[in-house]
Amino acid sequence: MENKTIKFSETYEKMPFYHNSPPSEAVLLEVFKVNSEDLHKRFVEYDTIYFDKEANNWAYYKLPKGEVLVLFLKSEFNESVNLWTTIRRFTPQKHKYYKEARGETFNIEILKRGLNSP
């Protein structure tokens, strides 16, 4: 059975790096449905910051207002285990999809392979 995929628009600072590359896969440990306005500012900054190569500066992905999903992920490389998150737009279908996929391994696909630092 082929792994499902989680797509990212950018290489985010939150992502663990192994030999200068973000993870190619992660296990979905849990899914939380929350209101984006209830998330602490520091958590949102951690989860959304990336280096925008075109602007040559740090930028933040703009979260949607209202309900969102927080995916809690685990990536492993050799002896290293990293826990990290991603915030996703909420729909009832996505919530059901991710809830049913807890414990599964997902491929990580990054649409723009940017630098994680300037």
Q: Where are the domains of the chain?
A: 4-110
The answer to whether the predicted template modeling score (pTM) of the entire model surpasses 0.85 is yes
**How far is the C-alpha of 91 from the C-alpha of 97, rounded, in Å?**
10
Structure-block tokens of residue 99: 């809830």
* Model confidence pLDDT, tens digit, residues 30-67: 999 999 999 999 999 999 999 998 999 999 999 999 99
**How far is the C-alpha of 93 from the C-alpha of 30, rounded, in Å?**
16
